[in-house]
Amino acid sequence: MKIQEADAKSLLLAQGLPVPPWKVARTPAEVEAAARTFFASGADRVVIKAQVLVGGRGKAGGVRLAGSAEEAAAVGARILGMDIKGITVRKVLVAAAAEIVKEYYLGAIIDRASRRVVLMASAEGGVEIEEAARQNPGAIHRVWADPELGLLAFQARALGLGIGLCDPLLNQFVAIAGGLYKTMEANDADLVEVNPLAIVAETATDGATTQSLVCLDAKITLDDSGLARHRELETLRDLDEEDPTDAQARKLGINFIHLDGTIGCMVNGAGLAMTTMDLVKHYGGEPANFLDVGGGARRETVRGAMELILGDPKVDAILVNIFGGITRGDEVAAGLIEARAQQSRDVPMVVRIVGTNAAEAARLLREARFETATSLDEAAVKAVALSKGAVR
Ligand code: GDP
Ligand code: MN
């Protein structure tokens, strides 16, 4: 689950990282009011940033500065409603603009090969880190945290030295890297990224300037499987940007992953769903989705799953493969019959139901004139034959 910059910043702040204060605004008037508070506390300029779950907002014109509250309102009016990579901007972050001296990149992700969290830093921070990584891989420095001990201070120091920092900024970097790792661990995050981590200059009233490292941007992706351990993080889900199909699947408790093929699959159990997809491919078809209705699926779930499958216009054949254990075959059959009576378009379907109450299921399906199969191979062959998109 991706979360917005403003929410990511709250999680960083909770681990003690230096994040300048901000406000979230949904209208130009709110932008203006927020800007006023920053100007009143001494800001020269404010920064207004689109809150959308995609990167490269700066390049797309979604990050702009303003020198007065009125200008902030005008900039807010321009950014709100803007389209960034297909997403409509509905809210913006407003903060006092930092005076940036230099931009760095700092990020943590799970390195599956080493089964550790890897922290990466680069002196080439800012908007184009992926590009920098491609052109000059040597500019990215890495350390791997220990699963037991976490990120050790000497590792963080090595990382900071790698990107050319020296004290007192190096000490600040060590604390920030530690906090980044803690943010990852505390929230079961997959990715925590600060880009830019910036050296900013602050001028005191007596004219003296000091430099410090602050997190000017934040990106966090949470591990969906870890969310059960952090109920409070569920409130950070941005429903404005969630794919309606994904939202529907989540409501129904169905594991659904959209794919590129033409054969819709409805299966109970993740392993069986994988096997079903393998066989569809084996016989020359392309699955349109991975769909696991879960154990003990009731007819409402089956009906909902059918709607999810039919919602994809590319689907021109459906394969239902149910191995009844806790799930009752007759319940699934009844769900399929109900679904077909209500569905918006007619798509050929082949159904294989074995296990608990299979005989009753077979009778129901026969009476309703469904195409059935007794083995999974037979079902897959039939589904591929029914699909026009299959390569034969
Ligand atoms: P992204 O493009 O989506 O990654 O958005 P960022 O928040 O990283 O902003 C993009 C760029 O805008 C940064 O790399 C900075 O150069 C600039 N920027 C962001 N915040 C500020 C700020 O407070 N002051 C100044 N001067 N520039 C900023
Ligand atoms: Mn950024």
pLDDT tens per residue, range 78-102: 999 999 998 999 999 999 999 999 9
Helix/strand/coil for 197: strand
The predicted structure's pLDDT at residue 239:
87
CA of 195 relative to ligand 1 center, distance in Å: 8
Least confident of 50-54, 98-102, 243-247, 306-310: 243-247
pLDDT of res. 147: 93
Q: What is the pLDDT of residue 191?
A: 97
For residue 26, how far is its CA from the centre of ligand 1 (angstroms)?
20
Ligand 1 closest atom vs CA 97:
23
pLDDT of residue 388: 78
Answer whether 48's CB lies under 8 Å from 94's CB: yes
- 216 within ligand 1 shell (Cβ under 6 A): yes
Q: Nearest residue CA, atom 11 of ligand 1? A: 58
Identify whether the C-beta of residue 143 lies closer than 8 Å to the C-beta of residue 72: no
141 lines ligand 1 (CB under 6 A): no
What spacing in Å lies between the alpha carbon of 367 and ligand 1's midpoint? 64
Kindly state the percentage of the chain with pLDDT values over 90.
Answer: 85
CA 176, 178, 180, 182 torsion: positive or negative? Answer: negative
Q: Given the CA of residue 219, which atom of ligand 1 is nearest to it?
A: 4
* Contacts of residue 67, Cβ cutoff 8 Å, sequence gap at least 6: 44, 45
Provide the CA 35 distance to its chain's centre, in angstroms: 30
CA 308 to chain CA centroid, Å, is: 20
Beta strands in the chain (DSSP E): 2-3, 22-25, 46-50, 63-66, 83-84, 87-88, 92-96, 100-111, 116-122, 140-144, 189-203, 209-215, 219-222, 255-258, 263-267, 289-292, 317-324, 349-355, 371-372
| Cβ atoms 184, 12 nearer than 8 A | no
Cα gap 239→255, rounded to integer Å: 18
**Of 179, 202, 215, 192, the residue nearest 103 (C-alpha):** 215
- Return the percentage of the chain with pLDDT > 70, whole number: 98
Asked if pLDDT for residue 392 goes beyond 60, the answer is: no
Query: Residue 171: pLDDT band by 50, 70, 90 thresholds?
Result: very high
In the structure, what pLDDT confidence band is assigned to residue 127 with cuts at 50, 70 and 90? Answer: low
What is the whole-number distance in angstroms between the Cα of residue 48 and the centre of ligand 1? 9
**Helices 270-282, 376-386: inter-axial angle, 10-degree rounding:** 60
pLDDT band at 205 (very low <50, low <70, confident <90, very high): confident
Alpha helices per DSSP H over 18-168: 28-40, 69-79, 129-135, 153-162
> Which atom number of ligand 1 is nearest to the Cα of residue 55?
3
More confident residue, 388 or 107: 107
Q: Which of 24, 63, 52, 169 is nearest to 106 (CA)?
A: 169
Catalogue the active-site residues: 105, 193
pLDDT at position 391 is 57
Could you tell me if the CB of 102 is within 6 A of ligand 1? no
Is 91 within 8 Å of 24 (Cβ atoms)?
A: yes
pLDDT at 153 over 80: yes
Task: Specify the pLDDT at position 353.
Answer: 96
Predicted local confidence at residue 132, as pLDDT: 77
How high is the pLDDT of residue 297? Answer: 82
pLDDT per position as a tens digit, 60-75: 999 999 999 999 999 9
Measured by CA distance, the residue closest to atom 9 of ligand 1 is 58
User: Quick check: CB of 67 below 6 Å from ligand 1?
Assistant: no
Query: In this predicted structure, what is the pLDDT of residue 244?
Result: 84
Predicted confidence band of residue 317 (pLDDT cuts 50, 70, 90) = very high
For residue 28, the model assigns a pLDDT of 98
With H, G, I as helix, E, B as strand and everything else as coil, classify residue 141.
Answer: strand
